[in-house]
Chain A
Amino acid sequence: MDATQLLKGVLDVAVLAVVEDEDGYGYDVVRRLRAAGLEEVGDASVYGTLRRLYTAGALTSYVVPSEEGPHRKYYGINAQGRAMLDLQRKVWTEFSTTMNNLLTSSTQPGEAA
């Protein structure tokens, strides 16, 4: 099984989680995700996810001009984003518990029906 495939389904919640405490710009978010262990995450996927969460109303966005280079676009979580994150945390917890149980039990010889 490919971890990048799994990642697609949970990238939203992962991105929400890393901007929960502190606003971040595109590459900053990528770096936080990689630092958290999601090494395979693609830049463009993260930027696109940020944009989609923003369009969905889960993130706020503001541009910080830079004197020396191109400006950066920061994203921050808002109330709707927090609600979404809470909900997805629950969904994930339940789902992962179920999957853990399933996978753990199915590895036990003789217990498979």
Chain B
Amino acid sequence: MTTSTVTPEIVAFAQGVRAALADLPAEEVDDLTEGLEADLAEAYAEDLQRELPDPAAYATELRAAAGLPVRTKPKSGVLSSLTQGWHDTRADLKVAIRRNPALASVVDFLGELRPAWWIVRAWLAAWLVASFFGNERGYGMAGTWWFVFVAFAVISVQWGRGRWHGPAVPALIAVGNVIAVVAFLPVMAAADDPRSSAGDFDRGFASGVDATVSDTPAEGLSFNGHLVENIYAYDAQGKPLKNVQLFDVNGKPLVTNRGGDASPLTPSAARLETGSDAYNVYPLKVTEMMWDENGNYVPDPSPDPRKTRALENGPFLKVPAVDVPKKVAKSNE
């Protein structure tokens, strides 16, 4: 047997052939092309005039002689033609990459990292499933979920190595990889969030309820740069009014600032006949709030009685009556 040099052209050619066979299982491709470089090197050492043929045409001949299916032709239907288009593009891309040595070496390097990706995608899948059940813990998972991760890792690696290839598996892997790539960044971000825990759902639900029910902007009415805490209305005779509903010209309820923790007051909603709560009914019933020794924001157990009275009754018991022109006053009677 002759020992011959394998030139870079031959290596590139062999890689091109393998790329054109890429739709076949990895094992099949290996068996089919094992020794290809040696055979080519010998053939071209014997006849230096020979030119390397087109790798794709060579692969087609190899495939036909081996009795393997020709690269699947598009079937009818949008989905299958899309899949076919994707397969063709991918195979063409591979052939193109193999023709460019720099690109080929980058791709080869990335290829060496594939086992790491197999583990990462298994972790991603386990994390997503665990978080669905509220069992993720930062980057990790609650105790027994690590067994799920190990199971996923075994499946992922076996798929990656081209074992366990059923008819639908390549498509499954493709879909799974796409999901994994898309989910990777959001999951990393969520896992990195120290608040992320089983309480996420409850918190999200509560904030959603807040947003729907209270429909109150963080900033409410202000006057001369100060936030308005309450509004006291007096009638034409100067007597205080209760339960006055205020709106702006667009029909939006006029609400005071309910700045949450920053405000010393928490208003209670008035109930409308429709059954919904309203915060634009003045004077607002308010609860005086305070910070207790544990740093919790709680209703003040012993509010200043004078301030409570003032809040309830308004700044004045009575204000001067409005001097209404007689005509109008009559028609009001």
Complex: chain B residue closest to A43, CB-CB? B43
Please give, as numbers and ranges, the residues of chain A lying within 8 Å of B39 by CB-CB distance.
25-27, 30, 43, 47, 72
Bound Cα distance from A27 to B6, whole angstroms = 14
- What is the 8 Å Cβ interface bit string for chain B, positions 140-172, against chain A (1 contact, 0 not)? 000000000000000000000000000000000
- Contact flag A73-B35 (CB < 8 Å), given A47-B62, A48-B61, A66-B3: yes
A28 to B40, CA, bound (A): 11
Within residues 68 to 88 of chain A, which ones have a CB less than 8 A from any CB in chain B? 68-73
Is there an interface contact between A48 and B62, defined as CB atoms closer than 8 Å?
yes
Q: Please tell me if A102 contacts chain B, counting CB pairs below 8 Å.
A: no
Contact with B along A40-55 (1 / 0, CB 8 A): 0011111111011011
Tally chain A residues at the interface, Cβ within 8 Å. Answer: 26
Instruction: Report if A63 contacts B (CB, 8 A).
Output: yes
**Residue on A with the closest CB to B14?**
A70
**Are B62 and A66 in contact, with the CB atoms below 8 A?**
no
Contact residues of B between 22 and 72, Cβ < 8 Å to A:
31-32, 34-43, 58-59, 61-68
A11 interfacial contact with B, CB 8 Å: yes
- Complex-state Cα separation, A44 to B39, whole angstroms: 10
Name the contact of A69 in the complex, choosing from B3, B31, B68 (C-beta under 8 A). B3
Q: Give the chain B neighbours of A44 by CB distance below 8 A.
A: 58-59, 61-62, 65
Chain B, Cβ-Cβ closest to A24:
B1
Residues of chain A at the chain B interface (Cβ within 8 Å): 11, 25-28, 30, 42-49, 51-52, 54-55, 63, 66, 68-73
A-B contact pairs, 18 of them (CB 8 A): A25-B39, A26-B39, A27-B38, A27-B40, A27-B43, A43-B40, A45-B61, A45-B65, A47-B32, A47-B66, A48-B61, A49-B65, A63-B35, A69-B5, A69-B41, A70-B6, A70-B35, A72-B35
Chain B residues near A (Cβ < 8 Å)? 1, 3-6, 31-32, 34-43, 58-59, 61-68
